Amino acid sequence: MVPAIGYMTMPAGFPYADVFLRGRPRHGLAGRLQTYDAFYRKHPPMSTVQRAKLFAPFDALRGFQEAIAGKRARYEDRRILTEGEKEELDRRIGILHSLTLNSRMARENCVSARITYYVPCQDPDHDAYKKQGRYESVTGTVKKIDLVSNAILLDDQWIHSDDICQIESDLFPDSDSTGC
């Protein structure tokens, strides 16, 4: 009877027939399969998960998928705020500043806010580079307001006040009055 390789029979003249017929190598002393030699201790058998990682697909063009996704991003022109919207933002920044004058007051008051701000396109290969951008919103705790550099520290992120188009907080019940 001709032995089978998987689902098919072994062809005549198969060059590795002797290796196949010997079976899987076993480590240990002759006659005692429970003992392990130095090779077995240094190279234990892999689990199925470890073996699967060897054959997992990889990203041959690192960053290519991110570049494609960046091209799909929608950018828009920066919105020009009216004088009324600018005054409302200044009023809200003033209220936040009075509650976070120093780090002790900022910790005690723990003012939470949601800020919508403009981020210009950073991809030099995109048509919107230095022309358009998009609006992003971030929610966090106001840590500091720097009136010299016109920036707000929200958690660990500095946001320039010229880029802000909307500030929402529980302090402002009429949060819908300024919108982007």
Block residue for tokens 């020009």: 80
Residue 28 lies in a domain: yes
Residue 8 lies in a domain: no
Q: Which domain holds residue 146?
A: 14-180
How far does Cα 48 stand from its chain's mean position? 29
Residue 6 lies in a domain: no
Query: What tens digit of pLDDT does each residue of 41-59 get?
Result: 787 777 888 888 887 777 7
> What whole-number distance in Å separates Cα of residue 111 and Cα of residue 113?
7
Residue 50 lies in a domain: yes
Q: Which residues contact 122 (CB under 8 A, 6 or more apart)?
A: 129
Residue 136 lies in a domain: yes
Query: What tens digit of pLDDT does each residue of 164-178 get?
Result: 999 999 888 765 545
Number of domains, the chain:
1
Give me the residues paired with residue 158 across strands.
Answer: 153
